[in-house]
Amino acid sequence: MLLRAYRFTDRFTLILLKTGLGAATLASDGLRLVLGSPRAGERSGLLGIVGFIGAILLRIGLFIAGLFGGVLGIGGKAVSRGMTTAAGGARTGVQGAMARRAARAEMRAAIPEDPLRARNRALSGLLVVSLMAVIGVVIWATQPRQNTAAGVLTDPDLAVSLLTNPLQPTATPANIAGQPVAPVVIATVTPLPAVLESRGTIAFVLRENGQTDLWAVPVTTRQPIRITNDPADERDPAWSPDGTKLAYASNRDGNWELYIYDLLTGQTRRMTFNLAYEGAPSWSPDSNWLVYETYQNRNLDIYVLPVTDVNATLQPITTDSAADMRPAWSPDGRQIAFTSIREGGQADIYVTSLDDISNPINLTNTPSRNEDYAAWSPDGAFLAYSALDAGLDKVFVQDMGDRGAPPTVLGRGRSPAWSPDGSAVIAAVDTTGATHLTVYPFSSVEAVPQIISVPPSADKPVWTGQPLPAALVNSGGLPSGTEALYIEQETRLANGIYPLGSLTNNVQAPNPNLSNRVNDSFNALRERVLEASGRDFLSRLDDAFWPIDQPQQPGEEVRNWHKTGRAFSVNRNAALGGFPPDVEVIREDNEVGTQWRVFLRVADGAQDGQLGEPLRAMPWDFNSRASNDVVAYQNGGRVRETMPEGYYVDITEVAGDYGWLPYPASTDWRLNFNAINYWMFYKPDGLSWLDAMRELWTDDQLGGFIPTATPIPQPTPTPGGSAGG
């Protein structure tokens, strides 16, 4: 009986051993799934862990049992002995116990050890040692690591997520202990383009909602922020040599003055205190002086001002009767470049030496171009400027060591400025409906131009090598503080047509109405012009709305925008008579054709600098067409010979704030006065002429203005059917 019990116990041990091996295999598979893919094998891995831990505990017990050799058998006999001893004690006492001990010793000597039992015991020991090694490997593999090799990811899905969204929070897998495993982040650094390696900061001006403010964009982040938000205008920024201050012009105190903004302290200091116009400052290399343009003695000239003493006497640099403007101080401190209109009404770049300011040199001397916006390279070896050439604004660079050599054309743009290391030039480039900042390489042929993404209508960039203060960058800049200039109250009829809206306050015009969709913007524009110039210039119009059947004059277009209710024409005679005329018109050519910029002379009582500013370009003289000058007649006029005196408001700029655009001249404007169109403004709002007409008229009323589809000729049938049939 004892032998049978021993064999049964040994076979049961073998069954438990195989069960433990199966559990260990399941645990191994689950662990592999967890380490290989935490998403795909999460559930199977947990089951494997449970089986794995159970197998470990079971094998530890088996190992202890087998380690002492025959434990199960000895234990069985011990139990039997205990039971027999208890029964014998009741019957026979000590003699029975002694007899059973003798019999047990005799049986132990007679029964040899089963070899299967010895083999199972050895196998159990080996298995337990192996499982203990596996436990150590599992613990080591599941410990979180602080220094994970970059670029090594066990989960392909996680790797794709980190590569495509490196800055977004990503779900983290869990290890066996339930703790989150830190994701492996692959650091990606986008290198700066070669033309931006100077880094630093670019300041520029931006006009929106009728207000011009100063902005800045760090080159490394290229995220524009607003620096000023006064309801008045700030413009003409100029970095100090150390890049911590910005000099600029503003009319915040009623007239145009110079100011210095300290970016480190946030403080602004006013530098000039008189009613005369001042603007376009430039720093001396030692930061002790500002050179700028100012309207003194009824003329625009160049002056210098000590930064440390605002009460010092102003020092003139130019005294010519022509307009001198936009100065730029050379890096060596001994020369000043500026724009002047001295010869033939054309603008040229001049350079004067501070050792002899009486004899400036005409650097460009090109009667066919108007050069402007001079800018010295950091080493003073080159001078960049811009000019309108063949209908395009272009950036030129002149070698100052060889002034007789032709300049280099970098590309399109105006108002250029150099990078701090002189390797690139940035300029404002006009596109359809916007202006962008473009950086052109100068010293490297391998670099390519780069566009700095800024809001539309950016202008006049200047570049320093210094970064913006961290506090200013972290603040995100100033809020705009501007509101909409007007609210258009629109009404639409049941048939989808917009009615006409009246022009308020007794506007004098043949038909003082405009479309209901634009009349409020005109009324607001009229009030703004009165405020800016002191004159109710738009109270009298030559034209507003035209009936659809109104005949046009020679030179006027049949598809005239007046018929859409989206156009008005100012008094055209205002530019032709009077001394001086109320209106001056400046010709502007582009790759498409010719358009005009209209300037209104401010009221006589405000000609001391309270309103407006002096002209900087020579106006067009239409009256010269009627003179004995054949060339002027053929060209539709000529530029004036002398610059008009006084202060003016740019009506074209103000009208643009309210969405009203100057209407371009027709191609035959030189020979047909009615085609000049300098008096006409329109507001298309992205509509074509026909679409704008359909807002006021039905298709039946438009009649012949609606294009009809041209019938497509049909092929003549071939007798006998088609070939090959």
pLDDT tens per residue across span 656-673: 999 999 999 999 999 999
Give the pLDDT mean for 494-510. 93
Torsions phi, psi for 179 (to 5 deg): -90, 145
CA distance 660 to 524: 12
Predicted local confidence at residue 390, as pLDDT: 85
Q: Which helix (H) or strand (E) holds 216?
A: strand 211-218
Which of residues 659 and 26 earns the better pLDDT score?
A: 659
Which residue would you say has higher pLDDT here, 126 or 16?
126
- 29 or 565, which is more confident: 565
The C-alpha atoms of residue 360 and residue 302 are separated, in whole angstroms, by 12
- Higher pLDDT among residues 284 and 551, named by residue: 284
Q: What's the average model confidence in pLDDT over 126-140?
A: 60
Mean pLDDT of 95-103: 48
Tell me if 232 sits within 8 A of 207, measured CB to CB: no
Both tokens assigned to 228:
């000023």
Of 274-288, 302-316, 561-575, 702-716, the one with minimum mean pLDDT is: 702-716
Q: 262 pLDDT band (50/70/90 cuts)?
A: very high
User: What Cα–Cα distance (Å) separates residue 312 from each residue in 307, 309, 689?
Assistant: 9, 6, 58
Whether 477 and 227 have beta carbons less than 8 Å apart is answered as yes
Q: What is the mean pLDDT of the chain?
A: 80
Q: What is the spatial distance between Cα 540 and Cα 507, in angstroms, rounded to a whole number?
A: 6
702, 592 Cβ separation under 8 angstroms: no
Q: Which range, of 131-145, 404-418, 550-564, averages the lowest pLDDT?
A: 131-145
State the pLDDT at residue 71. 40
Residue 46's pLDDT is 41
pLDDT of residue 719: 56
Q: Quick: pLDDT tens for 341-397.
A: 998 889 999 999 999 999 999 999 998 899 999 999 999 999 999 999 988 999 999
Q: Which of 53-67, 527-541, 585-599 has the lowest mean pLDDT?
A: 53-67
Per-residue pLDDT tens over the stretch 236-253? 999 999 999 999 999 999
**Structural domains of the chain in order of their starting residue, each with its CATH number:** 2-140+153-164 (no CATH), 213-475 (2.120.10.30), 500-705 (no CATH)
pLDDT higher than 50, residue 191: yes
Asked if pLDDT for residue 332 goes beyond 60, the answer is yes
Residue 447 has pLDDT above 70, yes or no: yes
Tell me the per-residue pLDDT of 614-629, one tens digit each, with 9 for 90 and over.
999 999 999 999 888 9
> What's the rounded mean pLDDT across residues 461-469?
96
Per the model's pLDDT, the better-predicted residue between 684 and 44 turns out to be 684
Cα–Cα distance list, 390 to 142, 302, 393, 589, 619 (Å): 72, 30, 8, 8, 19
pLDDT mean over 74-84: 40
Q: Is the backbone of residue 358 left (phi > 0), alpha (psi -120 to 50) or beta?
A: alpha
468-502 b/e (C-beta count within 10 Å ≥ 16 → b) = bbeebbeeebbeeeeeebbebeeeeeeeeebebbe
Say yes or no to pLDDT of 585 above 70: yes
> In the predicted model, is pLDDT for residue 489 greater than 90?
yes
Categorise residue 604: left if φ over 0, alpha if ψ from -120 to 50, beta otherwise.
alpha
Q: Span 499-526, mean pLDDT?
A: 96
pTM, rounded to two decimals: 0.73
How much is the pLDDT for 444? 75
Separation in Å, CA 21 to CA 46, 123, 374, 501, 564: 18, 12, 87, 93, 91
pLDDT at 272: 94
Q: In this model, does residue 177 exceed pLDDT 50?
A: no
Candidate from 65-74, 144-153, 437-446 with smallest mean pLDDT: 144-153
Most confident of 8-12, 49-53, 680-684: 680-684
Residue pLDDT, tens place only, 297-321: 999 999 999 998 877 888 999 999 9
Least confident piece of the model among 25-34, 283-292, 302-311: 25-34
Region 534-556 average pLDDT:
94
CB 678 within 8 A of CB 594: no
Residues 267, 272, 278, 284: is their CA dihedral positive or negative?
A: negative
Q: What is the pLDDT of residue 123?
A: 56
**What CA dihedral angle connects 173, 176, 177 and 181, to 10 degrees?**
-30
- Return the percentage of the chain with pLDDT > 70, whole number: 72
What are the helix (H) ranges across 111-222? 115-142, 156-164
339 compared with 554, residue with greater pLDDT: 339
> What tokens were used for 17?
């051993």
